[in-house]
Chains A and B, each alone.
Chain A
Amino acid sequence: MNLGVYRTMLANSIQQVLIYRTTSILIVIFGLLFYIIEMFAGMVYFSYTDNILGWTKWDYFSLVTTASIIQYSYNLIFVWGVSGLISNIIEGNLDYIILRPLNSFWYYALYKADFPSIINIILGIIVQSWIISKRNLSVLQILLYILCVLIGIWFIFLLNYLVVMVSFWKEKSEALMWIPETLMENSTRPASIYPKWIQILLMWILPALTSINLPVDIIRGRINVMNMCWYIIFVTVFTVIIYKMWYAGLRKYQSSN
């Protein structure tokens, strides 16, 4: 897929924002609402203690803010493609995509951007920059933080895409959509609060906890290098698997349109 096509798709998305203004405003509001709830809950938690297993109040706020940046960046770039897949498979709407002389994987993943999410991303970046500015961080730490945030966005996309692609094989499986959402929601907490078996599961088998915790661990200067290397290898292999799964799914797909 080339840049020109993507630019057209972005232009379409902007038009959609302008047409559905109320919906767009609501998307911004709910993003802010969830962020405020998380921060508010953090304030309540830390009004009783200064430190939860080595996490200070500002570490916790940094974690919540990083999760918000990652989640809304995923929404900005990918969420429309992912969320529409289940119904498009059932209703046979993929025909129009397969017929196009484009890479269907990328076309489908990127075909619409969710521009209202930008507001929440900007807010997150401002808050996080402020939190970071209060610490004495090296340039390398900041660059690594940004890199890990980007990998985190990609990881969430892969996880969501994996789940919705199950619809190629299993009908009426919308509830699966809850799994990545729940998984990411739970990863917005310090990894150390969980029992060892959950940490092993969500850091080494399916590194959802790593995807949100790692950027903040970099800021806190507490990186587990082994886990970071494993995470990068995992995401690379996961990318190849998802790409192949898409085409396996398309072969399975039967148009009912």
Chain B
Amino acid sequence: MKKYFIIALNQITIRLQYKFNVFIAFISRMVPIFMFYFIWNNIYNSISADKVGHYDRNQMLTYMVLVNLTGYVFTFVHIRELGIRVYKGKLTTLLLRPLSLLGESFATFAGRVFFPMLVYLSAIVFQGVTGHFKSPLYFMEVIVFVILCFIMFFYVISFVSTVAFWLIDIWPVHVILIGVYLLFSGVYFPLDLLPEKIYDIVKYNPFSLVGYISIRSIQNAFSHKEMLIYIISVIMWGIILKVCYGKAFKAGLRRYEGMGA
């Protein structure tokens, strides 16, 4: 366990080391939030009704800001790690070491998003302590759901990253994944603005769970029963993705040549 802790700590240190990089990344993530804020604000200015779907202006703007902030925690950058190692043949060094590759990868990922995750969880805890949530049980459900989302998201990344064994370059997959995330996570608009039948299917996809559902749960939008269903959905996705990762990784290793491409 200690070695994984050191790996995570190492990543945290790197974040602290390159403050300029981290600062610029922070600024560049902030800008789209304003864009969505202004576009929705002007939609409300141009309509005669008070509400769009179930949302009044304040609810919508809060939702847009929060859902865009989740991008700090649920980032796809880590997806390239395996690809770089396969491409340069450096995976061999890791395979020889007495550690779990998935464990090492999780420690790296956790270290990488440690600060945004800390802020995210602290904000939820602060809201819980100050009585924002409708009941203590609901507060606990949100905390459990968010932590499970974080783990499930790691499995999404891990599974997709195994295409590195078959593809020479992972970056197009990274970009596609960002696109799919934008479409299905509710970053452009809340997913319940979609026709009901589409919404009922789309809301259970992994990206909706980490984006739209997470933020709506923070906004007290769901009942206990709904929260339970979402928690079960996250766990099921986690299990499915972990199994898929295991199979894809094994198949990939058979293709891996052990030297730089």
Interface residues of A (CB under 8 A from B): 20, 22-23, 26-27, 29-30, 33-34, 37, 40-41, 44-45, 48-49, 51-53, 170, 172-176, 178-179, 181-183, 185-186, 189, 193-195, 198
Cβ B28 vs Cβ A179 within 8 A = yes
Cβ A30 vs Cβ B168 within 8 A = no
Q: Binary interface profile of B, 1-38, with partner A (CB < 8 Å = 1, else 0)?
A: 00000000000000000101111110111011011001
Would you list the 9 A-B pairs with minimal beta carbon distance, nearest first? A26-B172, A178-B28, A175-B24, A41-B188, A33-B179, A175-B25, A175-B21, A182-B28, A30-B176
**Which residue of A22, A34, A49, A173 is within 8 Å of B43 (Cβ)?**
A49
Cβ B183 vs Cβ A23 within 8 A = no
- In this complex, which of A41, A181, A198 has the most chain B Cβ atoms within 10 angstroms of its Cβ? A41
- Least CB distance from A81 to B in Å reads 16
**Which residue of A49, A178, A185, A186 is within 8 Å of B46 (Cβ)?**
A49
Residues in A neighbouring B179, C-beta threshold 8 A: 30, 33-34, 37
Give the B interface residue count (CB, 8 A): 39
Instruction: Given A22-B167, A49-B47, A186-B35, verify A29-B176 contact (CB < 8 Å).
Output: yes
Name which residue of chain B comes closest to A174, CB basis: B21
Interface of B is mostly: helix
Name which residue of chain A comes closest to B23, CB basis: A175
Residues in B neighbouring A170, C-beta threshold 8 A: 20
Name which residue of chain B comes closest to A34, CB basis: B179
Complex alpha-carbon distance, A181 and B46, angstroms:
29
Instruction: Given A49-B47, A174-B21, A178-B28, verify A23-B35 contact (CB < 8 Å).
Output: no
Cβ A51 vs Cβ B46 within 8 A = yes
Apart from the given pairs A33-B179, A51-B46, 9 other A-B contacts in the complex at a CB distance below 8 Å: A26-B176, A30-B179, A53-B45, A53-B46, A175-B22, A182-B29, A185-B32, A189-B35, A189-B38
Complex alpha-carbon distance, A40 and B193, angstroms:
12
- B182: CB under 8 A from chain A? yes
Complex alpha-carbon distance, A19 and B18, angstroms:
37
Residues in A neighbouring B173, C-beta threshold 8 A: 26
Cβ A173 vs Cβ B21 within 8 A = yes
- Least CB distance from B19 to A in Å reads 10
Could you write out 11 A-B pairs with CB less than 8 Å apart?
A: A23-B169, A48-B43, A48-B47, A49-B47, A52-B42, A172-B20, A175-B25, A178-B25, A179-B24, A182-B29, A195-B38
Name which residue of chain A comes closest to B167, CB basis: A22
Complex alpha-carbon distance, A181 and B41, angstroms:
23
Instruction: Given A26-B173, A52-B46, verify A37-B183 contact (CB < 8 Å).
Output: yes
Interface of A is mostly: helix
- B240: CB under 8 A from chain A? no
Instruction: Given A41-B188, A182-B32, verify A173-B24 contact (CB < 8 Å).
Output: yes
Residues in A neighbouring B140, C-beta threshold 8 A: none
- B180: CB under 8 A from chain A? yes
- Least CB distance from A33 to B in Å reads 4
- B189: CB under 8 A from chain A? yes
Name which residue of chain B comes closest to A44, CB basis: B189
Complex alpha-carbon distance, A186 and B179, angstroms:
16
- B175: CB under 8 A from chain A? yes
Cβ B172 vs Cβ A30 within 8 A = yes
Residues in B neighbouring A179, C-beta threshold 8 A: 24, 27-28
- B147: CB under 8 A from chain A? no
Q: Binary interface profile of B, 134-170, with partner A (CB < 8 Å = 1, else 0)?
A: 0000000000000000000000000000000011110
- B95: CB under 8 A from chain A? no
Complex alpha-carbon distance, A175 and B29, angstroms:
10
- B123: CB under 8 A from chain A? no
Instruction: Given A22-B167, A41-B188, A48-B47, verify A172-B42 contact (CB < 8 Å).
Output: no
